[in-house]
């Protein structure tokens, strides 16, 4: 089978690595606007099966042409391109999953479901870590615990060696990070979908040593479509991002100054957009800085007890893949392979928590080295 990775950034690298080693995949097309980057990713991560393409991912027609003969594609570029890439894949008759992260874009993708179904195509948005793996694990937890009444999702990517004052390392795009901290957050309360305060509901949380003292707070996008899928099925659901203590207050202070606003501001005769300045500074000052880790806890509770999935993953020094790259791209690559192989047979724009075979999904991730611990309690 043939697959494509659209975008050769951090997550595109890991997605190429995973797909090039997936069963029955004999070709991975790596597409990026910068031909040198596509060639590098194909050569370094493609295990001899990757082919680089120079491609403007905003050009719907060009993307559709480049996908001729492919079985499935994985969008690993900015979420701002996901709607156009969805249209291109429907046009090409190629299945697609993406890393998502923006609720408005996902809603627009679901509006194309009838077109995708008519074209015989499956589109699965939001397939990274969170949104992504966390949603499928939530579905699996409810499958194990049918009387579940509440679900909580806690996920974070952190440096293994935090450096004050931010105690944070940028492990994916600054644009995506600001979006998580800024956009609306949704959950469930008393069985109904509600908007929760983004950056609000701060709590203390603990993981196995050395991550005993951490904080978690509401952020946007991580629950994906779960609140709507589970509305009326469970009572309460929320998603929070995990950070070292104090991080939320630093972010809130910058946002209170207006540094996340997208409108133009006049400075010394020039027009600048504060959000773009903030994203540039985050990229410049918080990139690099040593190995990272990913922490995940997905827990369902009900009258008969609780079921939780916990993951602590660290950067792999052998492959050079960071924990965030592994935990974001490997789930998406798994869904891409499932689409290409026919393991996901439903057509249209799909809710991953309903369409992805959860048990098989978990087994695939474990075979790729993600040690997901299952914890049950009466």
Cα 337 versus chain centre, distance: 17
H runs (alpha helix) in 243-350 = 247-256, 274-286, 323-341
Question: Domain 2-128+327-367 carries which CATH code?
Answer: 3.40.50.720
d(CA 109, CA 112): 5
What is the pTM for the complete model shown? Answer: 0.93
Tokens 């999904």 belong to residue: 361
With beta carbons less than 8 A apart as the criterion, state whether 73 and 50 touch: no
Return all residues near 235 (Cβ < 8 A) that are at least 6 apart: 149, 150, 188, 189, 190, 191
Which residues sit opposite 216 in a β-bridge?
Answer: 203, 242
Whether cis (ω within 30° of 0) applies to the bond prior to 153 is no
The answer regarding whether domain 133-247+289-323+371-377 maps to CATH 3.30.360.10 reads yes
Domain ranges of the chain: 2-128+327-367, 133-247+289-323+371-377
Q: Would you give per-residue pLDDT tens digits along the chain (378 residues)?
A: 999 999 999 999 999 999 999 989 999 999 999 999 999 999 999 999 999 999 999 999 999 999 999 999 999 999 899 999 999 999 999 999 999 878 889 999 999 999 999 999 999 999 999 999 999 999 999 999 999 999 999 999 999 999 888 899 887 778 888 989 999 999 999 999 999 999 999 999 999 999 999 999 999 989 999 999 999 999 999 999 999 999 999 999 999 999 999 899 999 988 999 999 999 999 988 887 789 999 999 999 999 999 999 999 999 999 999 999 999 999 999 999 999 999 999 999 999 999 999 999 999 999 999 999 999 998
d(CA 174, CA 50): 28
């Amino acid at each position: 089978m043939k697959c494509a990775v659209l975008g050769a950034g951090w997550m595109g690298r890991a997605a190429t690595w995973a797909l090039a080693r997936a069963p029955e995949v004999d070709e991975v097309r790596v597409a990026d606007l910068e031909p040198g980057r596509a060639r590098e990713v194909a050569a370094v991560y493609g295990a001899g099966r990757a082919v680089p393409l120079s491609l403007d991912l905003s050009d719907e027609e060009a993307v559709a042409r480049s996908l001729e003969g492919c079985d499935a594609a994985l969008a690993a570029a900015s979420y701002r391109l996901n709607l156009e890439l969805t249209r291109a894949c429907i046009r090409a008759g190629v299945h697609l999953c993406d890393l998502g992260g923006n609720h408005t874009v996902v809603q627009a993708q679901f509006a194309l479901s009838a077109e995708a179904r008519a074209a015989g195509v499956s589109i699965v948005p939001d397939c990274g870590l969170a949104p992504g793996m966390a949603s499928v694990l939530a579905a699996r937890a409810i499958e194990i615990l049918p009387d579940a009444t509440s679900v909580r999702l806690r996920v974070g990517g952190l440096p293994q060696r935090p450096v004050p004052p931010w105690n944070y390392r940028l492990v994916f795009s600054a644009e995506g990070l600001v979006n998580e901290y800024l956009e609306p957050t949704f959950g469930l309360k008393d069985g109904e979908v509600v908007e929760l305060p983004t950056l609000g509901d701060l709590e203390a949380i603990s993981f196995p040593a050395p991550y005993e003292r951490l904080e978690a707070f509401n952020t946007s996008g991580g629950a994906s479509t779960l609140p709507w899928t589970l509305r009326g099925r469970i009572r309460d659901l929320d998603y929070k991002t995990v950070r070292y203590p104090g991080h939320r207050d630093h972010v809130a202070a910058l946002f209170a100054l207006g540094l996340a606003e997208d409108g133009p501001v006049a400075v010394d005769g020039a027009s600048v957009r504060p959000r773009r300045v903030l994203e540039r500074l985050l990229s410049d000052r918080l990139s690099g800085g040593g190995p990272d880790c990913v922490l995940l806890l997905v827990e369902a509770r009900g009258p008969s007890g609780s079921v939780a999935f916990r993951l602590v993953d660290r950067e792999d020094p052998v492959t050079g893949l960071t924990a965030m790259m592994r935990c974001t791209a490997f789930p998406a690559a798994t869904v891409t392979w499932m689409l290409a192989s026919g393991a996901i047979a439903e057509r249209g724009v799909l809710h991953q928590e309903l369409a992805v075979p959860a048990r098989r999904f978990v087994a695939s991730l474990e075979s790729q080295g993600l040690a997901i611990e299952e914890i049950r309690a009466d």
